[in-house]
Amino acid sequence: MGEILLPLLILCPLVASMIISVSAGRVGTCAIGAIACVGVGLSAILGIILSVMLLSGPAAGVLPVVLWRWIHVAGFSADIALTLDRVSMVMVLVVTVVGLLIHVYAVGYMREDPGIARFFSCMTLFVAAMLVLVLASDLLCLFIGWEGVGLCSYLLIGFWYDDPANTAAARKAFYMTRMGDAALLCGLLLLATAAGSLHIGAVLAAVADGQVAPSGVNVAALFILVGALAKSAQVPFQTWLPDAMAGPTPTSALIHAATMVTAGVYLIARLHDLFAMAAPVMALTAVLGTLTLLMAACTAMVQSDLKRILAWSTISQLGYMFLALGCGVWQAALFHLMTHAFFKALLFLTAGAVIMRAGHEQDIFRLGGLRHAMPGLTAAFVVGASALAGLPLVTAGFYSKEMILSGVWHVHFGLTREWTLSGHPLWGMALLGAFLTALYIFRCVFIVFCGKPGTVATGRTSRLMGIPLGCLCFLSLCGGVIEMPDTLPPLHLFTALLDPKTPLSHADEPVWLVLAGALAPLAGLGVARVLWGRAAPVMREIPGQAAITRLARAGWGMDALYDLVFVQPFRLLTWLAHHDILDQAITGTGRMTRAISGRVFRARAGFLDKLAVWGTRARGWAGHLLGRLDNGRVRWYAAWIAGGLCAGLAMAVLS
């Protein structure tokens, strides 16, 4: 049964994408939306059925399907094969369920857009590619899905291609992620060379058995980490994700919540046994994750565009996931990935509805007092903001973030036999990030929905857009109670689901650790309430030096750095190639040589002519002189002979 249902899980959205592409312009808007929702909905139903089948079997059971044998040569083999295990099951449910809610919302959001067929064709293809990525049991097959989500993101970010800024944002995302893809491919080639296969089980077994040298493990893990960093927009590849807001809001929700940016997290979680053998790479992952979460949180503090605030918050939350992966608590990273998909999809979809009703105004300082005109959207956004901030006990974000903080506190990085680093400093910075998260998201809440009225709201939110928001509100509030810290009523359903044999638990966790994680977002909420929650806000913009503020708004100069190091040299090479400077240099050299040769020829000809004239005149003068001397007078001859004799005798005497 599973051998039939598992391929159908991918085929449903893929076939829906093909039908929409072929029937574009021949069916109505409602039919296009229905086809897309049915395709993703069937995939969600099949995912639930397959999950029940998997959980009802043995604890370590999997559902493998080999579709066809792809590459089989001496020393290497690769198959197009799918495997559903407990890790991929979580991702399948997140992608299909959240993807279905986003598609339903998009039917109402995009109903007036003339390119709706192209939009839903790319959206369903996006879901299919992500399912290939998470279900692939071979890393080469996974790379196909990896490239597929990159292509779909390019098409969706540049969906409104009439605006050059949108196409520039799409190209930027494509180029940045391609750099990571090249690094990932290098890592896969190293593993293929050492293990003789890219089947995930075979690769991990080869690493565990020592078939891959420690240096090879470190280098391969580093290359794979670079690929994951680029796909998940982590430092130093974070610049493409804020510009990805150029696409429609459902696209932003799909990219940021359920699909593309989570691919890097999933890849490292899937290969956690490989990364566990590369301690320096693990430490680097944790440090980069911490740096990203703080940098992105500080950047979100000074943004004024509503969608860009949410984009930077996505980068920050992905930093938490990479911090957890670097600390070895990959279960916490996947748990936060799941809860983040709920509340980030809710925030983006609610923001899209607010922007639509506010006349497509995205500047938070031009919005205000919208709680009276949009009470339902206000409640949905507050729920999503609370979950993002991790308000204790009542939101899913609290439990997943607390799981990460607890794992970071207990970790120790054994870089060498003598050198061990504690995770306590990283825990402190992650706690600071939790405070900043609550501060910037409730700054957004108070400015947009409270205070003096700004932009006048019009229209109503359709039911097709409201139903997904209600479902996501429930998931954002209750989706985290399946995993609770031991200081509360201990419940570890999520970790037991991922690994029934060794569920993650910290029975010795101090109570103050949970209290610190609970008080940090509450402190951020309190400060935001004091600064922006009053009728007369204490401040409008974040104070500070103008240069620092501009630098933070510009993403700390990373765009300028990339422009200087990569873009401008590339443009110079393009200009040189376009104007064919080499050919012009060769042609110019030839012209100059011909001109110099002509000048030399003319100068030589003139000199020889003058030399001939001078020679003729000298010959005439000499003849005339000889004629004067040879005059037939004996006395002159005797005088010349005497003079010559005297000169000869004088020379003889002097010598």
For residue 353, pLDDT beyond 80: yes
Q: pLDDT per residue over 281-309, tens digit each?
A: 999 999 999 999 999 999 999 888 999 99
pLDDT of residue 182: 95
DSSP state, residue 456: P
For residue 629, pLDDT beyond 60: yes
Q: pLDDT per residue over 109-147, tens digit each?
A: 998 899 999 999 999 999 999 999 999 999 999 999 999
Closest CA relative to residue 230, chosen from 220, 221, 240: 240
Residue identified by tokens 């938490």 is 320
pLDDT of residue 543: 57
The Cα 4–Cα 581 span in angstroms is: 60
Number of Cβ atoms within 10 Å of the Cβ of 463: 9
β-bridge pairing 76-84 and 63-73? antiparallel
Instruction: Return left, alpha or beta for 490; rule: phi > 0 is left, psi -120 to 50 is alpha, else beta.
Output: beta
For residue 381, pLDDT beyond 90: yes
Q: pLDDT per residue over 229-286, tens digit each?
A: 999 999 899 999 999 998 899 999 998 887 889 999 999 999 999 999 999 999 999 9
The mean pLDDT value of the chain amounts to: 88
Q: pLDDT per residue over 67-96, tens digit each?
A: 888 888 877 888 889 999 999 999 999 999
pLDDT of residue 418: 65
pLDDT of residue 566: 76
β-bridge pairing 420-422 and 76-84? unpaired
* 3-state SS class at 83: strand
pLDDT of residue 458: 85
The Cα 325–Cα 61 span in angstroms is: 24
Split at pLDDT 50, 70, 90, the class of 614 is: confident
For residue 545, pLDDT beyond 60: no
Phi, psi of 66 (to 5 degrees): -100, 110
pLDDT of residue 402: 93
Split at pLDDT 50, 70, 90, the class of 417 is: low
Give this prediction's pTM. 0.87
Number of Cβ atoms within 10 Å of the Cβ of 615: 10
Phi, psi of 84 (to 5 degrees): -105, 110
Instruction: Return left, alpha or beta for 182; rule: phi > 0 is left, psi -120 to 50 is alpha, else beta.
Output: alpha
In order, the DSSP letters of 556-601 are TTHHHHHIIIIIHHHHHHHHHHHHTHHHHHHHHHHHHHHHHHHHHH
Radius of gyration of the chain (CA): 37
Which stretch, 152-166, 535-549, 613-627, has highest mean pLDDT? Answer: 152-166
Q: How far is CA 571 from CA 444, 518, 582, in A?
A: 39, 50, 16
